[in-house]
Structure 1
């Protein structure tokens, strides 16, 4: 998801060197973050937000008059159709540089009206890591941006289904997958719900780093569409609704 850091920095009259010095990193590392070639993790985004005098969600929120490569909007300023954010497939790592210059694609799926205050995206699910939750191979899930959902609706809770992103090799490779959020004895476990025993839980420590991997939740999943968009599995209500 494209960030607004460069835009907000320029609005404050700061150079990359100025902001980088403020948060204690080299300006070349800040450049990578601004251009989505590196993902520093939640703590660093919070630090950047503090230096810019904004909330962390503002680093990713749509800014009035600045919707470059963003989702489609109707005349009232609401998302009319959703931006396709790529594939979610457990165990498959992809080079982020391959997709860095891809043009934004719009999916013929409308946003969930319950969460219009948060940006929403569509991912195509590949594989069977969540088939027992009703999310089959080839379906499309609709998810609300994690930061905006958390600030404007509620925190992520045990039982929620989320889009998870894992990064390795200094952010050069990523995996995106769908999991069930569980908080067990003070730490977070992201659970598959699969008929395939190959899929294993992901345990997230407080710093979000496991054996050189950065792990973060990027979206709250509210529903999943069939391949042809003819049905939605309402994950909030736990029942299938025909459109």
Structure 2
């Protein structure tokens, strides 16, 4: 009889085949690992050490494929790895919105899994609205984020962060996700979008009159509904 580890590997290989060309790379990006990590999980190269699947990775694989390994109950794993957090609002590049329209009301808040590497009460989630992040996330995807202020996290070059711009004493808000770059002058935030309308970077060391800009979150991972 096959052990559970081999059952999971067989399921993974079958699901990748079902997804078709490019599935391994997409899964790797979804998990935040290198494609070679998936190959090591599958045991594709006998010269490489076999890599075990982490509990959190198994949960995300189930989300990615929209299925579970036969005979494997993910519910206890989900309960152990995750607690849920609300999707409190959205990100939408180049769009100024009234502060009341940017965040969801309590009854409209969806619950999604948090990430086990940080306390759930230091995390929040936002829904991607449009193509402002289409190099990394699709319209409707959920960004699981670390509250950098509560966590006292100092963002660095290469981070994907949530930035809020405000004007009119905070009544109008623009919230989006951008990639941090560091220059000789300071930090710049660059888009992860292919849309020509969203290519202008946000220069943090240059202030626009009447506006404020603040990095409020670090994107930890991207949740995609099956």
**Fold match (TM-score > 0.5):** yes
Structure-2 residue corresponding to 1:137: 139
Runs (4+) off by over 2 Å: 97-108
Q: Shift of the alpha carbon at 1:131?
A: 1.5
Structure-1 residue corresponding to 2:191: 192
Q: How many residues align?
A: 145
- Distance in 2 (CA, whole Å) between partners of 1:177 and 1:123 is 10
- Distance in 2 (CA, whole Å) between partners of 1:124 and 1:100 is 10
- Who wins on radius of gyration, i.e. which is larger? 2
Aligned CA RMSD, in angstroms, stands at: 2.5
Which of 80, 83, 102 is equivalent to 1:80? 83
**What does residue range 82-121 of structure 1 map to in structure 2 within 5 Å?**
82-97=85-100, 102-103=105-106, 106-116=109-119, 119-121=122-124
- Distance in 2 (CA, whole Å) between partners of 1:121 and 1:105 is 15
Q: Shift of the alpha carbon at 1:186?
A: 3.3
1:80-125: per-residue Cα shift (whole Å, max 9, x none)?
Answer: 2112220100011111245789437543311110122761111001
Structure 2: tracts of 5 or more residues without a match? 1-80
Is the 1:163–1:179 Cα contact (8 Å) retained in structure 2? yes
- Distance in 1 (CA, whole Å) between partners of 2:102 and 2:134 is 27
Q: TM-score, normalised by structure 2?
A: 0.58
1:147-174: per-residue Cα shift (whole Å, max 9, x none)?
Answer: 133x2xx421100001110101111100
**What does residue range 23-172 of structure 1 map to in structure 2 within 5 Å?**
80-97=83-100, 102-103=105-106, 106-116=109-119, 119-132=122-135, 134-149=136-151, 151=152, 154-172=153-171
Secondary structure of the residue that 2:117 maps to in structure 1?
Answer: helix
Richer in helix (by share): 2
Q: TM-score, normalised by structure 1?
A: 0.54
Q: Shift of the alpha carbon at 1:216?
A: 0.4
Q: Shift of the alpha carbon at 1:223?
A: 0.7
1:156-199: per-residue Cα shift (whole Å, max 9, x none)?
Answer: 11000011101011111001101111121131111002211211
